[in-house]
A and B are shown apart, each in its own frame.
Chain A
Amino acid sequence: MALDRWIALVLLGVCLAYGYAAWFTMDGNLAPFMQRNPIWPSTFPKVLSVLGMIAALIILLGIEKSEPKTADIDYRRLTDYHLGQALLLLGLMVVYALCLRPVGFLISTSAFLILGSFILGERKWHTMLPVALIATISVWYLIQEVLGIYMRPLPGIFGG
């Protein structure tokens, strides 16, 4: 089965779960006055779940014929591309998300930019370090000092 139909199967599952919640569980705690209304919090989701299931089934059963397209990247040959770099960058983003608050903006951002360039193959430290540091400090200054949006600069132990 082609990837688009596998995805349609997953989306059908999502719509079924969403529909189950809308049709069977959502209205349990509805206040009595609301039950007399023509519209309930579940009305719109119920419509969406049915429409979603229909659309997913059309793709899954291949009712609508589509022309095969030559994709930019062939997912069947993913290992032929720079898959390792992509996965490492995704991992780095997750680490950045987890570190931003506890480690502070300045350290985590400059580390993110330096490691990101390193993963992509950059080895010129004399360029990489100043670029990352200047960019980090400029963005922090713009966000925190000019726009007034709080951004913890350093870890708590350094008074950040």
Chain B
Amino acid sequence: MLEGLWIGLSTAISVQNLLMVIAGCLIGTFIGMLPGLGPMSIIAIMIPVAISMGDASAALILLAGVYYGAIFGGSTSSILLNAPGVAGTVASSFDGYPMARQGKAGKALTIAAIASFAGGTIGALLLMIFAPALSSVALLFHSAEYFALMVVGLSAIAAFAGTGQVAKAMIMTILGLIMATVGEGALFNQPRFTMGIMDLQSGFGFITLAMAMFALPEALFLVLKPKDLKGDNGEIKELRITRQEAKAIAPVIGRQSLQGFFIGVLPGAGATIASFLGYAVERNIAPKHEQEEFGKGAIKGLAAPETANNAACTGSFVPLLTLGIPGSGTTAILLGALIALNVTPGPRLMLDEPQIFWAVIMSMFIGNLVLLILNLPLIPYIAKVLAVPRNYLIPFILFFTLMGAYIGQNNATELLLLVGFGICATALKFADYPLAPLLIGFILGGMMEDNFARSMQLYNGISFIWERPMTLGLLVTAALLVVLPSYRARRARARAAGVAEGD
């Protein structure tokens, strides 16, 4: 391994490859900030450039830099505008945006930068040490386990529910799942619930729904009741994190780097599930008084998904490089690029082309450092977005929301759907229905149904639930995640009633 590391380091620190890392991180960050352009589309755009270089190591280093740069950039629009253009950064907006509204945009961006750096770096370290061994563990996960893992992810919605709000979170999740079944699924190849409308044939667009659920209601709320987004005296303040805050988020970063990485290793899971689960786990294990802060600007609530999504991005390279299995849409595009460069990823890649395998890993360390060095000094300027007067900022938020939906699908109908969904989402927000579970249900719905169907076919029914212990274990965990918050709320109410009666 030491020899491999040396080969990787010497390849990665060549002038050309260093420039590739820097260029990839910069391009990824800036384009990632535009809502609507996720890592998949950015990498797809960059592939011709990468292939034209002819050098597989340099091309992969560039594309990997674009990948984690885009995830990093996506967090910026989530935090500042509540407009997550990438599914993996949706969870970052839960606490990042409230922080920005409290005049702590600079601090939120600093935490995001540090958490992303730590998640990515620890992930790269784990990738270096465990890549070969983990590929065999990932193979133990079959469709039944994936289905169960998705159920756990969805059950974690209980984490988004306030006291006595589990039913509301549940109905929103189910609504998201219902929306995911609209259109032509990959498995059955027949249109469902399209009502004969051609534009619904490919289903609803994720970006359209994400913008409608988060950015549009928020912008409308800002119009209805204007608020000052800046600090008290108009200054963007509190850029630095205190020693106490660093102490509070350090264990979160440690835990989520590990958890995020291992979820990223599983083909099909990826940054989105990792960030939601990271958020849910940290909320559930936090002390009672801290739990209530989640969703209102808790630093732990921002650090958890930011660490987890970056660690998962790195983890997703394990099945790609060691098995040749793309774990996500983005790594599927990277696989296409590798094949176009005449590199066959798989168990023999490490032996046959160590310079590619190790150079990519080493470039991840360099890339994360580059992102931190490039972005930390820029944070005060990036945060100044919120200092733009409301009369200009709101039309721009609405414009980027519309553009995000339009670029994603290249279809004007999406814009009308966006406005329609946005109005519904605003009504749901008035009635205190949590919107995040709907989006989570929508994101995971397709994958969940595919894995459920495969398991049903393999086991000729639902016997896979009890015939596969890991599936059963995960499903029991999911049930506990739904039942426990309800039970806790009931107990708290009973205790409060007891106190009121003088027990």
Measuring CB to CB, which residues of chain A are less than 8 angstroms from any residue of chain B? 2-4, 6-8, 11, 14-15, 18, 21, 26, 37-39, 41, 43-45, 48-49, 51-52, 55-56, 58-59, 63-67, 69, 71-73, 75, 78, 81-83, 85-86, 89-90, 93-94, 96-98, 100-101, 109, 112-113, 116-117, 120-122, 131, 135, 139, 142-143, 147-150
Contact = CB atoms under 8 A, between A and B. Distances in A.
Given A3-B431, A64-B164, A38 B493 contact: no
A64 B161 CA distance: 12
Given A18-B178, A64-B165, A89-B223, 15 more contacts: A2-B431, A38-B457, A41-B190, A44-B453, A58-B167, A81-B224, A82-B226, A97-B402, A113-B396, A113-B399, A116-B395, A116-B398, A131-B392, A135-B396, A139-B403
Given A64-B486, A72-B221, A112 B395 contact: yes
Name the prevailing secondary structure of the A interface residues: helix
Which residue of B423, B433, B461 has the most chain A CB atoms within 10 A of its CB atom? B433
Interface in B447-501: 449, 452-453, 456-457, 460-461, 486, 493
Contacts of A143: 403, 407
B171 interface: yes
A113 B395 contact: yes
B139 to A, nearest CB: 24
A6 B193 CA distance: 24
Contacts of B373: none
B181 A45 contact: yes
Contacts of B219: 89
A41 B412 contact: no
Q: Which 4 A-B pairs have the closest CB atoms?
A: A116-B395, A97-B415, A66-B164, A122-B391
Nearest to A100: B412
B125 interface: no
What is the interface residue range for chain B against chain A? 35 or more
B276 interface: no
B341 interface: no
6 contacts: A41-B185, A48-B174, A75-B430, A90-B220, A93-B419, A122-B391
B280 to A, nearest CB: 19
Contacts of A39: 452-453, 456-457
Interface string B374-418: 000000000000000111101110110011001100101001101
A7 B43 CA distance: 41
B136 interface: no
Contact of A109 (B224, B399, B415, B428): B399
B235 to A, nearest CB: 22
Contact of A71 (B223, B410, B430, B457): B430
B264 to A, nearest CB: 26
Given A45-B178, A89-B398, A93-B419, A69 B162 contact: yes
B453 A85 contact: no
Contact of A48 (B163, B167, B181, B399): B181
Contacts of B226: 82
Nearest to A50: B174
Nearest to B181: A45
B199 to A, nearest CB: 13
Contacts of B185: 41
B177 to A, nearest CB: 5
Contact of B225 (A63, A72, A90, A113): A72
Contacts of B220: 86, 89-90
A78 B192 CA distance: 38
Contacts of B34: 142
